[in-house]
């Protein structure tokens, strides 16, 4: 999920009644969805555009299913590893309980968070 529409390489508006639930139970509206390229080799499909978010969020399930990769957590980082080749395709550093992944294709001020808590909650932010 991202609050910024400029991150999308493809984009389709969502119905105005499509909402997601935040961690505190607040419902927020999604504006659209599409594809986002976060590195030269990582393209995520059907990413939600959620204008009221304060940062980009990526679900672990999105990586493991869409990219066919493993996510390996360490105390201060996590690694995205291609299942077939074992090659590292992404890396994130831990800060305050979240994992931040620098995006080579998105503007420098942008970053993504990978939260361990999102593993069990598909539609929570």
The pLDDT value recorded for residue 76 is 94
Q: Is the residue at 125 inside a domain?
A: no
Q: Answer yes or no: is 18 within a domain.
A: yes
Q: What is the pLDDT of residue 108?
A: 33
Q: Examine residue 82 and state whether it is found in any structural domain, yes or no.
A: yes
Residue 124 inside a domain? The answer is no
Structural domain boundaries, residue 11: 5-119
Token pair, residue 15, equals 């119905």
Distance CA 47, CA 1 (A): 6
Contact 116, 94 (CB under 8 A): no
pLDDT digits (tens, 9 = 90+) for 18-49: 898 887 888 999 999 999 988 777 888 999 99
Decide if pLDDT at 105 tops 90. no
- The pair of three-digit structure tokens given for residue 74, joined into one six-digit string: 């360490």
Mean pLDDT over 87-110 rounds to 72
pLDDT for position 117: 36
- Its pTM stands at 0.71
Give CA–CA dist 100/90, Å, rounded: 11
| Residue 17 is assigned to a structural domain of this protein | yes
Counting the structural domains of the chain, the total is 1
- What are the structure tokens assigned to 20, written together? 């997601």
């Amino acid at each position: 999920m991202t609050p910024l529409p400029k991150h999308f390489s493809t984009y389709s508006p969502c119905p105005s009644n499509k909402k997601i639930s935040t961690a505190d139970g607040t419902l927020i509206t999604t504006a659209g969805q599409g594809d986002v390229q976060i590195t030269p080799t990582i393209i995520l499909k059907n990413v939600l555009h959620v204008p009221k978010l304060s940062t980009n969020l990526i679900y672990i399930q999105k990586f493991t299913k869409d990219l066919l990769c493993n996510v390996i957590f360490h105390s201060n980082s996590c690694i995205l590893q291609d299942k077939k080749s074992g090659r590292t395709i992404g890396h994130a550093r831990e800060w305050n309980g979240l994992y931040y992944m620098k995006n080579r294709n998105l503007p420098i001020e942008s970053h993504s968070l990978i939260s361990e808590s999102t593993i069990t909650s598909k539609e929570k932010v």
